[in-house]
């Protein structure tokens, strides 16, 4: 195939007209053939510019020897710059946490708990410890890449929570102990706590070795967890300074049915 040294193009309504010296027919090629590299050059050059074929010299061949070839291009929608996304991060994402998330987790937890009770369920070293041993028992809620809420848990292998359950992860256990649920101060009063908790319970339900979830909380929070399917099993054996807690448990069987009837 011979190409003119300078290819002229024009566009109208999504149609690209290219002038070639002659059509080409060959094995597997029917009708006029136009190489992709030249098409890309022409299209990038715009509607009035000329695209120079690499390595070619200016031709004295007249334009009357050229044969027009019409290429029909799929119409492309034009998106206004003001309507385009200014970022590529998902608007809302749920994923397990990693040790790299520990500092952000602790900042949210410290603000949420120390201002109220003066203590944190987990401190920074504890967070890193559990996110290293059992990251699959955690869940973070991210909005545009920013952590807004989280849960951290570990496995426990006894019927009730004890003082040891605060710091240990027992891989052979069937109970997921929820150490902490916290929401960033700017995202509170938006219903994020119940949504995150239900997603976490659903996440636990996909792990065949986990049969139930357990947690301890102060008396004022008991109704919240009961609305989400947890049942009180009485006072917790764990105490932190002057603080006492109620222990609640949730069987992961029929958990979806509980959600439908909980109004949570």
- 200 flagged as catalytic: no
The DSSP bridge pattern shows strands 67-72 and 15-20 to be antiparallel
With both helix axes pointing from N to C terminus, report the angle between 102-113 and 124-133 in degrees, rounded to the nearest 10.
130
Quickly tell me which residue has 């920074």 as its tokens.
Answer: 124
Largest CA distance in the chain: 97
**From-to residues of CATH 3.40.630.30 in the chain:** 93-262
| pTM of the shown model | 0.65
Of 179, 184, 201, 204, the catalytic one is 179
d(CA 216, CA 234): 10
**What values do phi and psi take at 76, rounded to 5?**
-115, 130
Residue 123 annotated among the catalytic residues of the structure:
no
Q: What is the CA radius of gyration of the chain?
A: 32
Tokens 């399917």: give the residue. 229
82 by DSSP, 3-state: which? Answer: helix
Among the CATH numbers 3.30.200.20, 3.20.20.70, 3.20.20.370, 3.40.630.30, which is that of 93-262?
Answer: 3.40.630.30
Looking at residue 135, its pLDDT comes to 98
pLDDT of residue 68: 55
Alpha carbon of residue 170 to chain centroid: 29
* Predicted local distance difference test score (pLDDT) of residue 109: 96
Given the residues 122, 181, 196, 252, select the one marked as catalytic.
181
Q: What is the pLDDT, as a whole number, of residue 20?
A: 41
Per-residue pLDDT tens, the chain, 264 aa: give them. 433 444 444 444 444 444 444 444 444 444 444 444 443 443 444 444 444 444 444 444 444 455 555 555 555 555 554 455 454 566 899 999 999 999 999 999 999 998 777 889 999 999 999 999 999 999 999 999 999 999 999 999 999 999 999 999 999 999 999 999 999 999 999 999 999 999 999 999 999 999 999 999 999 999 999 999 999 999 999 988 888 999 999 999 866 555 555 555
> Which of 91, 187, 119, 198 lies closest to 151 in space, CA to CA?
198
Residue 166's contacts (CB-CB under 8 Å, 6 or more residues apart) are 121, 179, 238
Task: Single out the residue of 139, 180, 179 nearest to residue 156, CA to CA.
Answer: 179
Set 4, 9, 41, 154: catalytic member: 154
Angle, alpha carbons 242-248-249 (nearest 5°):
150
Alpha-carbon 165 to chain mean position: 31
Instruction: Based on the residue annotation, tell me whether 206 is a catalytic residue of this protein.
Output: no
Examine the residue annotation and report whether 221 is marked as an active-site residue of this protein: no
Backbone angles phi, psi at 143, to 5 degrees: -120, 115
Q: Which of 16, 165, 184, 225 is catalytic?
A: 225
User: Which residue of the set 19, 71, 168, 221 is catalytic?
Assistant: 168
Q: Is 181 a residue of the active site?
A: yes
């Amino acid at each position: 195939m011979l190409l003119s040294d300078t290819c002229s193009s024009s566009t109208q309504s999504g149609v690209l007209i290219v002038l070639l010296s002659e059509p080409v027919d060959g094995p597997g090629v029917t009708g006029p053939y136009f190489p992709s590299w030249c098409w890309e050059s022409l299209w990038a050059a715009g509607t009035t510019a000329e695209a120079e074929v690499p390595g070619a010299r200016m031709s004295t061949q007249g334009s009357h020897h050229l044969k027009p070839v019409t290429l029909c291009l799929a119409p492309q929608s034009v998106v206004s710059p003001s309507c385009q996304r200014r970022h590529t991060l998902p608007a809302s994402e749920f994923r397990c946490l990693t040790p790299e998330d520990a500092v952000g987790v602790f900042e949210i937890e410290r603000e949420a708990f120390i201002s109220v009770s003066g203590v944190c369920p987990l401190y920074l070293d504890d967070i890193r410890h559990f996110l290293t041993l059992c990251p699959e028992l955690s869940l973070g809620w991210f909005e545009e890449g920013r952590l807004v809420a989280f849960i951290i848990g570990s496995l426990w292998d006894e019927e009730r929570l004890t003082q040891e359950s605060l710091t240990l992860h027992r891989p052979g256990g069937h109970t997921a102990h929820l150490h902490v649920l916290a929401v960033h101060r700017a995202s509170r009063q938006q219903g994020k706590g119940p949504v995150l908790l239900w997603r976490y319970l659903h996440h636990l339900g996909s792990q065949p070795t986990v049969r139930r979830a357990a947690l301890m909380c102060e008396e004022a929070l008991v109704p919240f967890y009961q609305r989400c399917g947890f049942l009180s099993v009485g006072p917790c054996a764990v105490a932190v300074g002057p603080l006492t807690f109620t222990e609640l448990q949730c069987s992961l069987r029929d958990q979806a049915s509980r959600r439908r009837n909980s109004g949570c």
